[in-house]
């Protein structure tokens, strides 16, 4: 919808009728925007609510000089910047700067760190029918990309998202952030340099699952159900990384990850069923653990990054509340049958 069309609707209808018609369609993409900015899906939803509240309060003064979409993004960006003032960034364990841990080390966790959260696809994926747009949207919410964004100062983060993800002109970003084009270009250059150190971009990971990858994921789910360590190791890349917030350690290499699962994971054979979902445009699984009464309770949520036909990275989030966020069952019955596991 163009700015002129937006303005026409505003003039023809009272604010009470025009506001929801003009703005409701942008809620999901604004949630994705706030998620990229904050690294928290829960914060993102709250900030989108604040964005709509501020937009509603100022709607009578909206003159249509930009599109409604651009206007909402300007509000959302500044809402996020205000919320991020004085806040610690949200890292993953690999972003803490410590070397990889040994699978024999005692597990240590921290509740003092505000950890990065995964995002359910239905809350942050756009509704475009254009394949190129769909791919671009998925790439911009990939877990590694969002994790890398958290290492940037908030204003650099905003500049990079507005310029590289939303493809705004430098002049538009300068207007949104009440700064100069020179400052925008300088911030973008510094942000690019930081992301280059992290060796991640929006287009470094595959975005689709072909039949071979789907078959591999079926074997992956079965291997955890059987606790077949050799099979799990065989599906990991040699340089795979495993991390599991709020535990602060992270593990590198397929063999070390296999030893970690073998020796530190409390489940045995037929103790760990998985239920498929998707997170950050990636395959993900809620892993459940058998309880003394035979039922299965939430244990952790795995988000997988694939390279070729193998698993390159696993982020296992030990937060049972995420199961509800992702619409996963609160428990599984004792006679639960392990399915195919393909997303």
pLDDT per residue as tens digits for the range 213-253: 999 999 999 999 999 999 999 999 999 999 999 999 999 99
Q: Give me the pLDDT at residue 132, please.
A: 59
- Burial of residue 333, with CB atoms counted within 10 A of its CB: 0-12 exposed, 13-18 middle, 19 or more buried: exposed
Q: How many Å apart are CA 139 and CA 163, to the nearest integer?
A: 15
Percent of residues, the chain, with pLDDT higher than 70: 88
For 61, residues 6+ apart whose C-beta sits below 8 A from its C-beta are none
Which residue did the predictor score with more confidence, 300 or 11?
Answer: 300
- 177, 77 in Cβ contact below 8 A? yes
Q: Give me the pLDDT at residue 304, please.
A: 98
Q: Give me the pLDDT at residue 169, please.
A: 96
Q: Give me the pLDDT at residue 11, please.
A: 46
> How do the domains of the chain map onto residue ranges?
3-198, 211-325
DSSP secondary structure string for all residues of 122-171 = HHH------HHHHHHHHHTT-HHHHHHHTTS-HHHHHHHIIIIIS---HH
Asked whether residue 207 carries a pLDDT value surpassing 60, the answer given is: no
SS3 290: strand
Asked whether residue 2 carries a pLDDT value surpassing 60, the answer given is: no
Q: Any idea what DSSP says for residue 332? A: B
Identify the band that residue 16 occupies on the pLDDT scale cut at 50, 70 and 90.
low
pLDDT per residue as tens digits for the range 265-306: 999 999 999 999 999 999 999 999 999 999 999 999 999 999
Asked whether residue 341 carries a pLDDT value surpassing 50, the answer given is: no
Identify the band that residue 340 occupies on the pLDDT scale cut at 50, 70 and 90.
very low
Q: Give me the pLDDT at residue 247, please.
A: 98
Q: Kindly state the average pLDDT of the residues 87-106.
A: 95
Asked whether residue 7 carries a pLDDT value surpassing 70, the answer given is: no
Q: Give me the pLDDT at residue 97, please.
A: 92
Q: Give me the pLDDT at residue 18, please.
A: 83
Which residue did the predictor score with more confidence, 177 or 339?
Answer: 177
Percent of residues, the chain, with pLDDT higher than 90: 78
Query: Among 36-40, 63-67, 275-279, which is the least confidently predicted range?
Result: 63-67
pLDDT per residue as tens digits for the range 122-143: 999 866 555 556 667 778 999 9
Considering the domain 211-325 in this protein, what is its CATH number? Answer: 3.10.450.50
Q: Give me the pLDDT at residue 185, please.
A: 97
- 300, 244 in Cβ contact below 8 A? yes
Q: Kindly state the average pLDDT of the residues 45-67.
A: 89
Q: Give me the pLDDT at residue 128, please.
A: 59
- 201, 193 in Cβ contact below 8 A? no
């Amino acid at each position: 919808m163009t700015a002129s069309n937006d303005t026409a609707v505003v003039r023809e209808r009272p604010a009470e009728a025009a506001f929801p018609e003009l703005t409701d369609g942008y809620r999901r993409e604004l949630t994705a925007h706030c998620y990229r900015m904050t690294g928290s899906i829960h914060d993102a939803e709250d900030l989108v609510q604040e964005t709509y509240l501020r937009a509603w309060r100022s709607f009578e003064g909206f003159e249509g000089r930009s599109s409604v979409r651009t206007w909402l993004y300007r509000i959302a960006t500044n809402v996020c910047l205000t919320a991020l003032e004085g806040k610690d960034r949200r890292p993953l364990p690999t972003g803490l700067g410590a070397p990889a841990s040994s699978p024999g080390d005692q597990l240590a966790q921290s509740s003092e760190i505000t950890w990065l959260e995964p995002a359910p696809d239905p809350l942050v994926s756009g509704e475009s029918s254009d394949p190129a747009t769909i791919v671009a949207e998925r790439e911009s919410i990939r877990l590694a990309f969002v994790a890398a964004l958290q290492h940037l100062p908030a204003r650099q983060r905003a500049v990079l998202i507005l310029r590289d993800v939303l493809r705004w002109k430098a002049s538009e970003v300068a207007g949104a952030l009440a700064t100069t084009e020179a400052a925008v270009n300088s911030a973008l250059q510094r942000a690019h340099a930081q992301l280059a150190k992290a060796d991640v971009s929006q287009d470094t990971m595959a975005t689709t699952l072909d039949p071979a990858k789907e078959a591999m994921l079926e074997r992956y789910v079965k291997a955890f159900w059987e606790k077949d360590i050799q099979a799990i190791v065989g599906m990991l890349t040699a340089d795979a990384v495993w991390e599991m917030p709020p535990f602060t350690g992270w593990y590198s290499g397929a063999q070390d990850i296999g030893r970690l699962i073998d020796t530190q994971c409390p489940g045995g054979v037929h103790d760990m069923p998985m239920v498929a979902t998707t997170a950050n445009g990636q395959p993900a699984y809620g892993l459940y653990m058998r309880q003394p009464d035979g039922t299965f309770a939430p244990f952790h949520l795995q988000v997988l990054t694939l390279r070729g036909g193998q698993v390159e990275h696993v982020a296992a989030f030990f937060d049972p509340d995420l199961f509800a966020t992702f619409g996963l069952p609160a428990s599984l019955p004792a006679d639960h049958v392990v399915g195919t596991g393909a997303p």
